[in-house]
């Protein structure tokens, strides 16, 4: 039985005061209304709000993570943040390979793989994102693209390290567009990804990997998505910026 995950990716939103207020609100609703025994909740604020996030969530059972990291440990990489720095503030998770990083910052599978390996070496849990564009889906090349993102991003990752990796399937055409993949479309891809993991790592390991769906998940479609056999929760963008909506999505995963 895989424990579900609901993760909030705030992207480049919220100043420090707003971040602290939202974290406090989410923490309050979770404490008063929700149970975390069958769902892991993770918040991904911006880098500079991360130390506050760790502090405000202490003792709540909610995890904190960063939206990206650099692949090197330290050095002359102006503006960048390494996995060890993320670890040093007490955060436990990092998102790697988000489509916005691939699209706007030129991150390819090779860079993503270097980042995944670096984060795993530091002992962080990785949410590794993959997803096809609309053109790739319409030209029916999405299975090849997803396979390549998955397998190349996980190059040199062994079965034991895979325990610390969660896959997030986020079709680019569904991100921030209000256009969610149907539960059947998402399930089809999740089953395909699990098959690929099974071919590489064996079936029992593949069955233990959590695969999240992301792309316009909202309180009213979350339950149906999370009921699918191979969908183990969600990576939430827009709806994670509203405490009540995010909490309702956590409830849908319980
Ligand atoms: P939306 O939920 O806003 O579509 O964003 C999804 C996403 O990119 C999460 O990482």
Task: Output the domain CATH number for residue 134.
Answer: 3.20.20.70
Quote the CA–CA distance of 171 and 68 in Å, as a whole number.
19
Q: Which residues contact 170 (CB under 8 A, 6 or more apart)?
A: 98, 99, 129, 130, 131, 213, 214, 215, 235
Residue-wise pLDDT tens digits, 20-31: 999 999 999 999
The predicted model gives 227-234 an average pLDDT of 98
Q: Which of 124, 127, 101, 125 is nearest to 214 (CA)?
A: 127
pTM attached to this predicted model: 0.97
Counting every residue written for the chain, the total comes to 254
Site residues for ligand 1, CB cut-off 6 Å:
9, 98, 170, 175-176, 214-217, 235-239
Residue 159 Cα, ligand 1 centroid: separation in angstroms?
Answer: 28
The pick from 181, 238, 248 for probing ligand 1's pocket by mutation, whose C-beta has the most ligand atoms within 8 angstroms, reads: 238
**Has residue 7 got a pLDDT over 90?**
yes
Amino acid 200: pLDDT: 97
Domain span at 87: 4-253
SS3 content of the chain, % helix, strand, coil (to 5): 50, 15, 35
Within a 10 A sphere around the Cβ of 247, how many other Cβ atoms?
A: 21
pLDDT per residue as tens digits for the range 85-121: 999 999 999 999 999 999 999 999 999 999 999 999 9
Tokens 């309180």 sit on residue: 219
Which residue, 129, 133, 135, is CA-closest to 150? 129
Is the pLDDT assigned to residue 1 strictly greater than 90?
Answer: no
140 DSSP assignment: T
Residue 12 neighbours by CB under 8 Å, 6+ apart: 46
Question: At residue 94, what are phi and psi to the nearest 5 degrees?
Answer: -145, 140
Domain count, the chain: 1
């Amino acid at each position: 039985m895989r424990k579900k995950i609901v993760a909030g990716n705030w992207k480049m939103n919220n100043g420090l005061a707003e971040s602290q207020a939202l974290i406090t609100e989410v923490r309050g609703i979770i404490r008063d209304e929700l149970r975390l025994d069958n769902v892991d909740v993770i918040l991904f604020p911006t880098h500079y709000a991360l130390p506050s996030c760790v502090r405000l969530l202490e003792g709540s059972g909610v995890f904190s993570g960063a939206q990206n990291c650099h692949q090197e440990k330290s050095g002359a990489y102006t503006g960048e943040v390494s996995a060890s720095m993320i670890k040093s503030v007490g955060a436990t998770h990092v998102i790697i390979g988000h489509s916005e990083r691939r699209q706007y910052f030129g991150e390819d599978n090779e860079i993503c793989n270097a980042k995944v390996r670096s984060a795993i070496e530091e002992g962080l849990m990785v949410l590794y994102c993959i997803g096809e564009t609309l053109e790739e889906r319409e030209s029916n090349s999405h299975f090849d693209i997803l396979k390549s993102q998955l397998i190349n991003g996980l190059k040199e990752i062994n079965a034991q390290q895979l325990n610390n990796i969660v896959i997030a399937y986020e079709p680019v055409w569904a991100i921030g567009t209000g256009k969610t993949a149907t539960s059947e479309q998402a399930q089809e891809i999740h089953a395909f990804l699990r098959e690929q993991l099974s071919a590489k790592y064996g079936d029992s390991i593949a069955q233990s990997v959590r695969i999240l769906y992301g792309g316009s998940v909202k309180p009213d479609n979350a339950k149906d998505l999370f009921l699918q056999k191979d969908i183990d929760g969600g990576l939430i963008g827009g709806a994670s910026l509203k405490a009540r909506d995010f909490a309702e999505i956590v409830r849908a995963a319980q």
